[in-house]
Structure formats: C-alpha cells, structure tokens
Homo-oligomer: A and B are copies of this chain.
Amino acid sequence: MIRIGIVGYGNLGKGVEAAVFNNEDMELVAVFTRRDPSSLTVNTPGVKVDSYSNMAAYKDKIDIMINCGGSATDLPKSTPEIAELFSVIDSFDTHAKIPEHFSNVDAKAKANGNIAVISCGWDPGMFSLNRLYMNAILPNGNDYTFWGRGVSQGHSDAIRRIEGVIDARQYTVPVEQALASVRAGENPELTTRQKHTRECFVVAQEGADKERIEKEIKTMPNYFSDYDTTVTFISMDELKANHSGIPHGGSVIRSGVTGFNKDVKHTIEYSLNLESNPEFTGSVIAAYARAAYKLLSKGETGCKTVFDIAPADLTYMSGEEIRAHML
C-alpha cells in the first residue's frame, strides 16, 4: 500500500481523498490543516486530522504527501517546505513562475532524498503532456487550447467582489464555430473573443442596481472585457439547484502537416469532459503519487513534472501486463 497524506482540505483536497479511496493500492493516513484540526471532519473513516506544523511526526508513516494548497501564495512556500520531509506532489498552476518553483522544490527534494512532482493535474498536467506529445510528433503545425464548458473559480470570485452581488457562477464556453474550424484543419488565427464566451449567473441583493452590476462585469479588464459576456440574474435557490457543481473540461488540438511538400494534414485532439474539476484533478494527482512512489523505490530524487515520468510508472500493472493487454 502507498501511504498518502493530504495537506489542505478544500475542494482539491477532497477530490484527492476520493481518488485515493478509488485506488486499491493506496491508503490515506492523515489530512493536515492550518485550521484547528478538531474543527475538521474528513470523508474517509479512521483518517487522522492533524496540524500542518505537526507533519514531521509522520515522517515514517507517509510515503507521498499531496499538497492541495493554492498557487498564489501557499504552494510556493509550502511545497519546498514539505519536500524537506516528504516526497510531495502539488498542482502549482501559475505558469510564469513554474521555472522558479521547480528550482526551489528540486533543491529541497534532492538535498533530502525525496521525489517531488509539481504542476500536476489537467492544465497544467494532462493538457501540457498532450501538447508535448503532439509537438514532438508533428513539428510543423499550430496548437490550440479551448477550455470549458466549465466553471472558472477565479472569474466567479471576481463577480462576487462586485457591490450588490451575493453569489455568482461563471462558465467559460468555447465558441463552437472556432472549434469546428480548428478540427477541420483550417488553422484559423483566433482572437481571445473568437475562442471563448463567458456566461455569468449572478444572485444580486434585493434592490441592487442590476444594470450597474451587469456593466461592471462586462467591462472588467482581464476577466471579461475581451470576451462576449452574458449576465443572467437568478435566485439563490436556482443557483443552488442548477449551478452547484464544478464541471470543466476542454480540448488541446494540434493541426499539423507532414510530407516533403508539407501539404498532408493531420489533426490530433485530446479532450476532457468533467463533471467535477477537483475530483478529476485529484485523480490525475493520485496516479502521479503512484509514479512518485515507484521512482523513489528506484532511487530517484529531485523535482519532476508530467514530462519526466514514463506512462508505465502511473499504473499498478506490471510491464508484462500492460504490454499484453494495453499495447
């Protein structure tokens, strides 16, 4: 059994917990929190909840620690910290800061004989991986990434900060016409507006100025002003009934050419349709926890990404089994 610890118990922590439950070669040992541990009840029976600061006591009881903190301020600090004590995985997604984060985590992991896997999930993660495979196979071509239909937590939060808004849910939606053009190998040049639309479902306070709220959303720089955005006001009951899930997904597509005249077209597409973003992300992370465990037992140390890990290391099956049944 691979003994797992989870750090942080938000949506992603719960998603990882469910994934560990569904992998028969893994067991969840403890959940660590910066809140008061006694305030937290977790979904897996018999699992300890302990304080982040008490982690060192588990050094011989946990094989892989899964850090489910946020990318903005938490992971850059906590993943290197954890890597001093444990092999660790995170889902760091601030693209511009990945090289710096990699280097910090790599130093701590190597110095302490641990493995770390950063930026694991679906984007970054499986989408990145597919981009790499596609580019290696078709060196001449164009990459396209479409996200959704799915809930963007960041955009939903941005709407909630507007005066007069009680709650909100924002869906990122790929433009069907753009997707069809890319899939047809037409290699379109697409602006931000041509690739995605944004659908906002907003619960406003009674008597709030809905016209102003709608205008503030639609003109919000970075978040909405570059998109065709629709705003629909709904009741809190409707939000709870129809918008409580966290679905997401999307497609990575490479449209490329081969041949001496570079005129033979090919399209490769990897797409995801997910009812729960955190449960799927947690499932990807659990598979890479297994890989980290295998790499560690081969004597490897240091920081890795999905690029560095051979597919065979993700499965509980042996080389013989996968060659016989999956090749």
Contact = CB atoms under 8 A, between A and B. Distances in A.
* Most B-side CB within 10 Å, residue of A15, A183, A262, A269: A269
A273 interface: yes
Interface in A125-156: 126, 128-133, 135-140
B266 A269 contact: no
A312 B320 contact: no
A259 B98 CA distance: 30
A315 B132 contact: yes
A230 interface: no
Contact of A273 (B185, B308, B326): B185
A3 interface: no
A272 B280 CA distance: 23
A126 B136 CA distance: 12
Interface string A218-255: 00000000000000000000000000000000000000
Contacts of A272: 266-269
Nearest to A268: B272
A303 to B, nearest CB: 10
Contact of A264 (B140, B276, B284, B314): B276
Interface in A92-143: 95, 98-99, 102, 119, 124, 126, 128-133, 135-140
B287 A136 contact: yes
B273 A258 contact: no
B275 A265 contact: yes
B95 A327 contact: yes
Nearest to A18: B259
Contacts of A23: 139
A167 interface: no
A268 B252 CA distance: 12
B269 A327 contact: no
Interface of A: 15, 18-19, 21-24, 43, 95, 98-99, 102, 119, 124, 126, 128-133, 135-140, 183, 185, 258-260, 262, 264-276, 279-280, 282-284, 287, 290, 305-312, 314-315, 319-320, 322-324, 326-327
